[in-house]
Chains A and B, each alone.
Chain A
Amino acid sequence: MKKKLLFIGNSHIGSLKSGFEYIDKSVLTNYELSFCGVRRNHFYKHKLIGDILEFDKSVTRFNFNLQDHIKLYDYDYCICVFNISPLARLKHKNYSFYSNNLLKRYIKKLYWLKTADEDCHDLILSIYKLIPQKFIFLGAPLVCQFNKKLWHDEAFYINQISSIRDICDKYFSNLNGPKILLPPENLLNDTGIYTKEACIKGAINADGEANINPNNINHMNPEYGKAIILELLKKIK
């Protein structure tokens, strides 16, 4: 029986959907993938009623292999895609140097999800609470803008990246914590948190179409999406 994977989230769904098209179908024989992308932060306008994710009629969405509403219990995995992750927190100007114990708690309780957009945070948290074992959070990549030195000593910075990766890896294979997939290191530049410039060329929008605005460097290309999906399949195998 095929494993059913549902990808929901913002415009970063686009590169995943396009990347999926590029994957050799023999790799996907055991999987059935569905996608639902919503531009910007309009995702929170959806409502979770029981295990049904009801679409808000006013929001333009880009669906693939989906009906008008989503019954979350029907899926083996629900993959939430947003442009935030525990790793991305390091770019914040107030980020300090945190202990392993604090990071574990911070990651496990999804405190890092809290942004100015509380509504979006609440909806993602509700989905996680409903289906904790099936929930996977996929932090969308950060574009390469990182030149400012924020740290007194690079060793502290490297230490934090390695601690966050280690904690996320452990929780992914552990039933007691949330599954958070961080972008593989080979897709990131020397900063360890920003995506390689090569992943931006030919970026894709939420609808899976090529991004024609050259100034829009916030999205990734199909090669990136393909690499992420393959990494995900490897993890849940």
Chain B
Amino acid sequence: MKNKKSYYPNPYENLSNKAFWKSGVVDEDPLNIQSLYKKKFNLDQDTSIASAGSCFAQHISKYLLSNGFDVIDKEKAPQGLPEKLKSSYGYNMFSARFGNIYSVKQLLQLAKEVGGLLDPEDYIWKKGGKFYDAFRPSVEFNGFNSKSEVIEHRKFHLLNVKAMFEKMDVLIFTMGLTQTWTNRYNQLVYPSAPGTIAGQFNPSEFELVNAEYNEILSDFNEFTEIIDTLRRAKPEKCKFILTVSPVPLTATGLDEHVLLSSIYSKSVLRAVAGKLYQKNNIDYFPSYEIVNNPRLEFSPFEENLRTVKKSTVENVMKHFFAEHKPLDHKKNKPFKKMIEVDPQCDDALLEGFKNC
């Protein structure tokens, strides 16, 4: 039998502009990239949104709040406290006062603690006669006056995080780092190296772990299982919007160049986010790509090449709000820009430890 010869176009022939580097990037306005982000699900006035993650996530939650979204804030600052001090004390940053959560392992650890699956010891660090909660040392920058005060405040904090997990419909989580300081004996992880904000470094007790793809993926999946259990009273599964922080590492704890560590870290996190995006209830918002777009005609960073410029943050959020329309603005009106306090980044402290 003679086969009829069919004509198939080559796989690139009928693709849209977004598929080609020239039309999608080179010829595209970097401040208004078409088809870069398509939302998987809606955020409306009934959606309770929680936010957590690295310091870049602070921008996202503030923008959402000022544009009418229901962003959970379970631990509010006392009324009348100046804005700058609110951030210094870990308020107004995320949906509870957990400070920066740089790694997925840290997020999982918090969920385990909230879910009663972990009862950690050794989480109180000292410095200058003051006591710190090692899992969120920067939220009380002058430290607590006693160990018992740290314990009481952690108890209160966990009750609020539990309430946040139970209430949230969507969690926006910004993944920041793969390098995590870990206790060798009990595998507890910390957001900052012992000896920086507080505590004392002892190499026989602490080690730097550079998490790999499979481990991070498995940690996030375990985290979502705990959230499902905590939210079993809710009819719908929790949804997630993942982002990767575009902020490079301040310092690497590995014996390699910081540029290598930084690119490795972001690449692994981006790959994990890509894999998780395959799930129906997990969306990925490309803030990392918007900031690192080579088409930008200006540096997206301040002089230190780490701090993301305010104009860059605005550009990122413009792309977000193109899909998730601000709730308190009429159609076609621009989203509300923020006059915000600089985000609190604990790892920026590491700069001060460099021997010149």
**Which stretch from B104-112, B142-150, B229-237, B302-310 is at the chain A interface?**
B142-150
Question: Any chain A CB within 8 A of the CB of B129?
Answer: no
Question: Any chain A CB within 8 A of the CB of B81?
Answer: yes
A–B complex contacts, Cβ < 8 Å, 8 sampled:
A95-B76, A111-B82, A115-B80, A152-B156, A152-B159, A153-B159, A155-B152, A159-B152
A105 in contact with B85 (CB, 8 Å) = yes
Could you tell me which residues of chain A, from 50 to 108, have a CB within 8 Å of some CB in chain B?
Answer: 89, 92, 94-102, 105-106
B75 in contact with A96 (CB, 8 Å) = yes
Question: Any chain A CB within 8 A of the CB of B228?
Answer: no
**CB closest chain-B residue, reference A101:** B142
A96 touches which of B76, B80, B85, B143 (Cβ 8 Å): B76
B78 in contact with A99 (CB, 8 Å) = no
**CB closest chain-B residue, reference A93:** B76
Given contacts A99-B140, A152-B159, 11 further A-B contacts (CB under 8 A): A89-B78, A94-B76, A95-B76, A95-B78, A97-B75, A101-B143, A111-B80, A112-B78, A115-B79, A152-B160, A153-B156
A114 in contact with B79 (CB, 8 Å) = yes
Q: How far is the CB of B230 from the nearest CB of chain A, in Å? A: 16
Could you tell me which residues of chain B, from 159 to 184, have a CB within 8 Å of some CB in chain A?
Answer: 159-160
The interface residues of chain B lying within 8 Å CB-to-CB of A114 are 79-80
How far, in whole Å, are A166 and B297 apart by their CA atoms in the complex?
58
B145 in contact with A100 (CB, 8 Å) = yes
- B residues within 8 Å of A by Cβ? 75-82, 85, 89, 97, 140, 142-145, 149, 152-153, 155-156, 159-160
The interface residues of chain A lying within 8 Å CB-to-CB of B160 are 152
The interface residues of chain B lying within 8 Å CB-to-CB of A97 are 75, 152-153, 156
B78 in contact with A98 (CB, 8 Å) = yes
Question: Any chain B CB within 8 A of the CB of A113?
Answer: yes
Question: Any chain B CB within 8 A of the CB of A146?
Answer: no
B153 touches which of A99, A112, A115, A153 (Cβ 8 Å): A99
Question: Any chain B CB within 8 A of the CB of A31?
Answer: no
Given the known inter-chain contacts A111-B81, A152-B159, A156-B152, please indicate yes or no for A101 contacting B145, CB distance below 8 A: yes
B149 in contact with A96 (CB, 8 Å) = no
The interface residues of chain B lying within 8 Å CB-to-CB of A106 are 78, 80-81
**CB closest chain-B residue, reference A113:** B80
Q: How far is the CB of A174 from the nearest CB of chain B, in Å? A: 17
**CB closest chain-A residue, reference B150:** A99
A102 touches which of B78, B79, B82, B155 (Cβ 8 Å): B78
Query: B76, B81, B145, B160 — which one has the most chain A CB atoms within 10 A of its CB?
Result: B81
The interface residues of chain A lying within 8 Å CB-to-CB of B145 are 99-101
The interface residues of chain B lying within 8 Å CB-to-CB of A113 are 80
A154-193 vs B, Cβ < 8 Å mask (1 yes, 0 no) = 0110010000000000000000000000000000000000
Given the known inter-chain contacts A102-B89, A152-B156, please indicate yes or no for A96 contacting B140, CB distance below 8 A: no
A94 touches which of B79, B97, B140, B143 (Cβ 8 Å): B79
How far, in whole Å, are A101 and B142 apart by their CA atoms in the complex?
8
Q: How far is the CB of B1 from the nearest CB of chain A, in Å? A: 78
The interface residues of chain B lying within 8 Å CB-to-CB of A156 are 152, 156
A-B pairs, top 3 by smallest CB distance, nearest first, are A114-B80, A111-B80, A94-B76
Q: How far is the CB of A44 from the nearest CB of chain B, in Å? A: 16
The interface residues of chain B lying within 8 Å CB-to-CB of A99 are 140, 144-145, 149, 153
